[in-house]
């Protein structure tokens, strides 16, 4: 019996030794992945290759592929008119130096099969010729349908068939921390996709536009990206890239985009009416401060103080007086002058809207019929 037990134990030992040798040198025989560093004694196993047609985890490939075809490059040119450009004697002696063209570069987004393109007004302002280059290498001359300098948006149109169109998203659903992609043509190197997150929402009082409600992002935005697309992880348009904060002229991680909700409003107004008509009530507003509150005897803790009212203007006709504090416009709470300006501008001229006003210690409700905001005179190119 002892001899049988000894034979059994020796057989088990030999089998275990054989299993160890096979597991170390030929693990695939046992259905295990091969070691990448057999000589080190450390087992590093290869990950299985991705199946054909699948997207790696964490990749933005799908969003980029859906949105990129609808993002275009915009090249502009305009004749540089010198002070002596029209002087025949100057042209005789010095040639046509005063009429050398200036070129500009930007991006745009195709938003309809009819060829409408959203871009920034500053990209095409003063241009004599605008050329649009598609991602599929086609190009076309564009004509300006309309501009809105106060929001820095412009609508172009090209006449081509089979145009790729971006899907408009809901920028109001964005939250800080959401992942986004910026697509455009920075520095003219060609279409480029960068990624980042939404850093902040509702940025205003930056002095960039008259009406500001920017999406802030750390996705890399550089010169040439203006007018390009800011999209979400589904490839839907969330904003039009407009400006960067930079001390060097390059990306420093603070970029700004106009929400697609604003761009859509401007687009519809320009296509329908040729211009954007905004509300206006004729007041001089100021943010609340301890000094102003003491001067006007204001009891309100939030809202915008009215320091002046235009005689016979819409606000005066509705009964708003200097010293009143506007706390709500058409159901929207007002916290600063920028919010008041944006809320009033969104009102339809000629249609009464409710205003909530704090007058010393009394709450007053009035209906104001806004007029049409005068269009600013565009600056002439220098």
**3-state SS class at 363:** strand
Kindly list the catalytic residues. 122, 152, 226
Rounded to 5 degrees, φ, ψ at 45 are -105, 145
Instruction: Bin 357: left if φ > 0, else alpha if -120 < ψ < 50, else beta.
Output: beta
Residue 95 burial by Cβ neighbours in a 10 Å radius (0-12, 13-18, 19+): exposed
Whether the CB-CB separation of 244 and 221 falls below 8 Å is answered with yes
Report d(CA 338, CA 199) in Å as an integer: 20
The string of DSSP codes covering 281-304 is --EEEEE--HHHHHHHT---SSSE
**230 contacts 238 by C-beta, under 8 angstroms:** yes
Q: Report the distance separating Cα 235 and Cα 59, nearest Å.
A: 12
Query: What share of residues in the chain are helix, strand, coil (percent, to 5)?
Result: 25, 30, 45
Yes or no: say if 123 and 226 are a contact pair by the CB < 8 Å rule: yes
Conformation bin of residue 266: beta by default, left when phi > 0, alpha when psi is -120 to 50: alpha
Tokens of 182: 């910026």
Do residues 321 and 354 lie in contact, with contact meaning Cβ atoms separated by under 8 Å?
A: no
Residue-by-residue DSSP string for 82-139: -TTTT-HHHHHHH-SGGGPEEEEEEEEEE-STT-EEEEEHHHHTT-SEEEEE-TTS-E
Sequence-separated (6 or more) residues with CB below 8 Å from residue 354: 328, 330, 331, 365, 366, 367
């Amino acid at each position: 019996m002892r001899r049988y037990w000894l034979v059994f134990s020796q057989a088990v030992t030999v089998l275990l030794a054989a299993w160890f040798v096979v597991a170390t040198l030929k693990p695939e025989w046992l259905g295990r992945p091969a070691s990448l560093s057999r000589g080190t004694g450390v087992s590093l196993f290869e990950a299985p290759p991705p199946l054909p047609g699948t997207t790696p985890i964490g990749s933005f490939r799908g969003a980029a592929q859906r949105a990129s075809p609808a993002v275009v490059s915009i090249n502009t040119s305009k004749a540089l008119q010198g002070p002596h450009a029209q002087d025949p004697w100057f042209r005789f002696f010095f040639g046509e130096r005063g009429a050398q063209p200036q070129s500009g570069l930007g991006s745009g987004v195709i938003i309809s099969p009819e060829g409408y393109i959203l871009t920034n007004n500053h990209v095409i302002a003063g241009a004599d010729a605008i050329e649009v280059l598609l991602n599929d290498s086609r190009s076309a001359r564009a004509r300006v349908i309309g501009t809105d300098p106060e929001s820095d948006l412009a609508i172009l149109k090209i006449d081509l068939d089979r145009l790729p169109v971006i899907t408009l998203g809901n920028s109001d659903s964005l939250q800080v921390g959401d992942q986004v992609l910026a697509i455009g043509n920075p520095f003219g190197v060609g279409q480029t996709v960068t990624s980042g997150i939404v850093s902040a929402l509702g940025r205003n009082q930056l002095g960039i536009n008259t009406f500001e409600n920017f999406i802030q992002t750390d996705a890399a935005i550089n010169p040439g990206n203006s007018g390009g697309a800011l999209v979400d992880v589904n490839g839907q348009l969330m904003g039009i890239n407009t400006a960067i904060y930079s001390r060097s002229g390059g990306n420093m991680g603070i970029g700004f985009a106009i929400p697609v909700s604003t761009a859509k409003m401007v687009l519809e107004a320009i296509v329908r009416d040729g211009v954007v008509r905004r509300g206006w009530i004729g007041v001089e507003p100021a943010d609340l401060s301890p000094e102003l509150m003491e001067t006007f005897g204001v009891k309100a803790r939030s809202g915008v103080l009215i320091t002046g009212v235009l005689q016979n203007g819409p606000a005066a006709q509705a009964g708003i007086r200097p010293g009143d504090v506007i706390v709500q416009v058409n159901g929207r709470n007002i916290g600063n002058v920028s919010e008041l300006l944006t809320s009033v501008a969104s009102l339809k001229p000629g249609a009464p809207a409710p205003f909530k006003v704090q007058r010393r210690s009394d709450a007053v409700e009035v209906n104001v019929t806004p007029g049409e905001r005068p269009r600013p005179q565009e600056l002439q190119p220098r």
